[in-house]
Amino acid sequence: MCGIFGANNGRPVASKLIDSLRRLEYRGYDSAGIAVVGAQGLDLRRASGCVDRLAAVVRDDRPEGTVGIAHTRWATHGAPTDVNAHPHAFDGVAVVHNGIVENHAELKWWLSDLGHEFVTETDSEVLPHIIAKMRRDGMDHRQAVAATLEYAKGSLALAAVFEDAPDRIVVARRGSPLAVAISEDGAYVSSDPAAFDAVGGRFTHLEDGEVAELTRGDVWFDGADGDARRNRWEPVVLPQDGGDPRAGHSSFMAKEMAEQPDAWSRTVASARAFAGVEELAAADRIAIVACGSSYYAGLMARAWFEREAGLACDIEVASEFRHRGGVLSERQVVLCLSQSGETADTLAVIEEMRAAGRRTFALVNTARSAMTRAADRCWLTDAGREIGVAATKTFTAQVAALVVLALRVAHARGRIDADRLEKALDGLASLSDMIRQTLALEGRMASAASAFADRRSAFYLGRGPAFAAALEGALKLKEIGYVQAEAYAAGELKHGPIALIEPGVPVVVVAPSDHLFEKTLSSAQEVKARGARLLLLTDAGGAARAGRLADDTVVLPGADAWAVTVSAVIALQFLARHIATARGLDVDRPRNLAKSVTVE
Ligand code: M6R
């Protein structure tokens, strides 16, 4: 979380910094700021809110200088105010930071005793103070930043500029990601190489614990292998698509939802060719480890590993799994699942598993990410870049890839023959048409949403994979509609949650007409009997069996219960989006959230 960008390119950099920050805004949009260094010294501009607000500040009062750093913030310590916005500066040193300085309180006490005064509530403010102290103690710029990395505990990626050296940026990282690039006109630093799209050239990721200095023409790495690592530069791949980034849609979320049929087809095709699936097949148990929507994708696909492949499958929340000290069997495989490939807890699981000598597996959507580099075997979903904070096409792509993996494992374990495997995979691929039909139900879901728009709470029910769909649907509504939406396994209703049902409360029931349909319908009847407003998502057979029970019944496409459940996920994306839009909310940038959760 938090996006860092820096440029040293011999030209006035303020506009370039702000344009580049826009590409990093998915990492946080609580505040933004830049620091430019030039003949006039250090010049800072900061504003709470999104980058557009900073752009407005800078438009009327542009700082001059050809070297600068920039930051878009997701607040961890201190409210999202102007004063807490980065960069933070002290004694001619300005710093932008991504991560958490865990021992910031102790560091503030130490520095306060030395006469330093702090003006923000942030952990990050200690960084320019330490660097300035190290400079006063006689260290050069790089040494001062390297020493700061030693003093500050926790995860950090940082970039610093100096009033007394207006020709350089010094950068460092431990834990949080940071990459540097060299193009024809200068040197750049960014939290995410995607921001280099606008500069071209070549880039490389900083190694953990590495410090580097960006001059106008080059990047100098500290450490013995500084020269050797020059061979590890990769070309910046410039995007082919120009024009309207939302392609005519009202939001990135709308665009990304519409891309689901293609994302599904591409991912099924790629997963059919994933190398190394036999390593999963040799396992005696699998743990899928993830956070948020990725966790629900694992939950939705679990039955395929268990029923088809005969492989016991646990689904684990990464932040719990890593600290639980659970017992893994000798041949158990841990598969980490992540859209961004940057989620701190999921990444930590990979790193901790590697340190324990286990082979590590990841399924990730972002090819240039920390997890793709960290895992021994990384498979890629092929959903394309997702910008809206709510996972949509990446969720369905994860489900697609997991089901292909499960089927291929089933084949490798001799549970299905090659013919049945191919038929099943073809059937799975053809679900892209069903997804298209579901997308055509937007108007229907918009009208279903109108009954919810003024409600502060909602309940979602389902069983088996449909429970995972209910969880994912409820998360979407919480995240972008700010509605207290809770999902329960329908069988759990009578164990407590039913006490919350009162007249008018919306309850969404996901019930494909499978062997569990009658049981789920009983739960629907129980909430209806207590006055709930019932929205039933089912197929044609289910709708016929439910009759007039629900206040609103949406008939979903899908040839079997599994397909109907996939369709329900998309219908629930529409439901959340239309509720959020009716409330006038920004579906792409919901409050308090960021696209990548790079802090624990
Ligand atoms: O990048 P990841 O898949 O690891 O992210 C995990 C969650 O932060 C993410 O799925 C989050 O829950 C989504 N914004 C939900 O829409």
pLDDT over 70, % of the chain: 98
User: What pairs with residue 98 in β-bridges?
Assistant: 157
Amino acid at 527: V
Whether residue 169 has pLDDT greater than 70: yes
Q: Strand order of the sheet with strand 457-462? A: 484-489, 457-462, 506-510, 533-538, 552-555
Convert the pLDDT of each residue in 511-563 to its tens digit.
Answer: 999 999 999 999 999 999 999 999 999 999 999 999 999 999 999 999 999 99
| Cβ atoms of 461 and 469 closer than 8 Å | no
Convert the pLDDT of each residue in 235-251 to its tens digit.
Answer: 887 665 556 788 899 99
Q: Which pLDDT band, with edges at 50, 70 and 90, does 454 fall under?
A: confident
Q: In CATH, which superfamily holds the domain spanning 246-429?
A: Glucose-6-phosphate isomerase like protein; domain 1 (3.40.50.10490)
* CA 339–ligand 1 middle distance (angstroms): 7
pLDDT (0 to 100) of residue 417: 98
Sign for the CA dihedral angle at 199, 202, 206, 212 comes to negative
pLDDT (0 to 100) of residue 242: 59
Amino acid at 15: S
Q: Which pLDDT band, with edges at 50, 70 and 90, does 100 fall under?
A: very high
Atom of ligand 1 nearest to the CA of 366: 1
599 vs 548, more confident: 548
595 is catalytic: yes
- In order of 86, 88, 193, 515, the CA distances from 159 in angstroms are 11, 11, 15, 58
Which is catalytic among the residues 2, 50, 313, 336? Answer: 2
pLDDT (0 to 100) of residue 231: 65
Nearest Cα neighbor of 296 from 585, 1, 581, 573 is: 573
Nearest Cα neighbor of 315 from 330, 331, 293 is: 293
Convert the pLDDT of each residue in 381-403 to its tens digit.
Answer: 999 999 999 999 999 999 999 99
Element (H, E) at 190: strand 187-190
pLDDT, mean of residues 358-364: 96
* CA 291–ligand 1 middle distance (angstroms): 6
| Beta strands, E only, 270-389 | 285-290, 312-317, 332-338, 361-364, 377-380
What does the radius of gyration of the chain's CA atoms come to, in whole angstroms? Answer: 26
d(CA 84, CA 121): 6
Amino acid at 313: C
pLDDT (0 to 100) of residue 227: 62
The set of residues, in sequence order, having a beta carbon less than 8 Å from that of 275 and lying 6+ positions away, is none
Look at ligand 1, atom 9, and give the residue with the nearest C-alpha: 292
d(CA 108, CA 436): 56
Sole residue written with tokens 């597996």: 361
pLDDT (0 to 100) of residue 414: 97
| Cβ atoms of 386 and 284 closer than 8 Å | no
Look at ligand 1, atom 4, and give the residue with the nearest C-alpha: 338
* CA 57–ligand 1 middle distance (angstroms): 32
183-205 burial by CB neighbour count: b if 16+ within 10 A, else e? Answer: bebbbbbbbbbbbbebbbbebbb
Amino acid at 303: A
Q: In the chain, which residues fall in CATH 3.40.50.10490?
A: 246-429, 440-600
Amino acid at 484: Q
The DSSP call for residue 115 is T
* CA 267–ligand 1 middle distance (angstroms): 18
pLDDT, mean of residues 580-597: 93
d(CA 468, CA 489): 9
Look at ligand 1, atom 8, and give the residue with the nearest C-alpha: 292
Convert the pLDDT of each residue in 460-513 to its tens digit.
Answer: 999 999 999 999 999 999 999 999 999 999 999 999 999 999 999 999 999 999
d(CA 209, CA 403): 38
| Cβ atoms of 210 and 149 closer than 8 Å | no
pLDDT (0 to 100) of residue 246: 87
Count of Cβ atoms closer than 10 Å to residue 216 Cβ: 17
157: left (phi over 0), alpha (psi -120 to 50) or beta: beta
User: What pairs with residue 188 in β-bridges?
Assistant: 7, 181
| Cβ atoms of 34 and 14 closer than 8 Å | yes
Whether residue 453 has pLDDT greater than 80: no
pLDDT (0 to 100) of residue 426: 98
Convert the pLDDT of each residue in 52-96 to its tens digit.
Answer: 999 999 998 889 999 999 999 998 899 999 999 999 999 999 999
Q: In the chain, which residues fall in CATH 3.60.20.10?
A: 3-235
Residue 231's Cβ-count burial label (10 Å; 0-12, 13-18, 19+) is: exposed
Out of 597, 598, 599, 600, mutate this one to test ligand 1's pocket (max ligand atoms within 8 Å of CB): namely 597
Atom of ligand 1 nearest to the CA of 595: 14
Average pLDDT of the chain, as a whole number: 94
| Cβ atoms of 425 and 272 closer than 8 Å | yes
pTM across the whole model: 0.89
pLDDT, mean of residues 144-169: 96
Convert the pLDDT of each residue in 176-206 to its tens digit.
Answer: 889 999 999 999 999 998 899 888 899 998 9
CATH classification of 3-235, choosing from 3.40.630.30, 2.60.120.260, 3.10.310.10, 3.60.20.10? 3.60.20.10
Count of Cβ atoms closer than 10 Å to residue 597 Cβ: 20
Convert the pLDDT of each residue in 320-355 to its tens digit.
Answer: 999 998 899 999 999 999 999 999 999 999 999 999
- Binding-site residues, ligand 1, Cβ < 6 A: 291-294, 338-340, 343, 346, 389-391, 475, 479, 597
Atom of ligand 1 nearest to the CA of 291: 6
pLDDT (0 to 100) of residue 178: 93
- What are the phi and psi torsion angles at 100 (to 5°)? -135, 130
pLDDT (0 to 100) of residue 474: 98
Look at ligand 1, atom 14, and give the residue with the nearest C-alpha: 390
* CA 229–ligand 1 middle distance (angstroms): 32
The DSSP call for residue 394 is H
Which is catalytic among the residues 16, 133, 476, 595? Answer: 595
| Cβ atoms of 281 and 449 closer than 8 Å | no
Convert the pLDDT of each residue in 114-151 to its tens digit.
Answer: 999 999 999 999 999 999 999 999 999 999 999 999 99
| Beta strands, E only, 215-365 | 219-221, 234-235, 285-290, 312-317, 332-338, 361-364
Atom of ligand 1 nearest to the CA of 293: 10
CATH number of 440-600: 3.40.50.10490
pLDDT (0 to 100) of residue 225: 60
Look at ligand 1, atom 7, and give the residue with the nearest C-alpha: 292
